[in-house]
Amino acid sequence: MITVEVEKAPPYVALSYTWGSKSLSKAVHVNGCDIRITANLADAIDAIFVFARERNLMFWADSICINQSDVHERSRQVRLMNTIYRSAEIVAIWLGQASHDSDLAFDKMKEWKVKFDDLKQQWNGSEELAALRMICRRPWWKRAWIVQE
């Protein structure tokens, strides 16, 4: 692990994931120290490690890269989250281990993306698309809790 200012960071993958149960934890060796991470994070790291290494990318995960026992550091880093994720070469989203129907779901999403891209081309420059963009820029969409609500 290296410590750098986000503006000077080498290319990296920022990992977006849920912590999962703290009771299910695993030890990882970081800079000569063993730290405990959740099993969900360990699974995510296992999934992206080879991908990142093959592309010569570092990776960033909050519970490893932020000293969780230092309230001041945690607070400072939380304020930088937007910059940390925006500055990443890639943001990898870990949804959990694959299930028997994961491929089916991802195939459907690819199909929807093609349809959405076609629709976007049809709407390009239209009043409808401009109106939709204006709705999506309203402050409500930027609230952290809209998914829970």
Q: Which of 67, 15, 68, 2 is nearest to 42 (CA)?
A: 15
Q: Which pLDDT value is given to residue 148?
A: 47
Q: Are 69 and 48 part of one and the same domain?
A: yes
Cβ-based neighbours of 95, under 8 Å, separated by 6 or more = none
Q: Are 83 and 11 part of one and the same domain?
A: yes
Q: Are 58 and 108 part of one and the same domain?
A: no
148 assigned to some structural domain:
no
Q: Are 82 and 111 part of one and the same domain?
A: no
pTM of the model: 0.69
74 lies in which domain range?
6-93
Q: Which pLDDT value is given to residue 125?
A: 80
**pLDDT tens series, the chain, 149 aa:** 777 788 888 889 999 998 888 787 888 888 888 888 999 999 999 998 888 888 888 889 999 998 888 999 999 998 888 899 999 999 999 998 889 999 999 999 999 999 888 888 888 788 888 898 899 898 887 776 555 44
Contact indicator for 63, 18 with CB cutoff of 8 Å: no
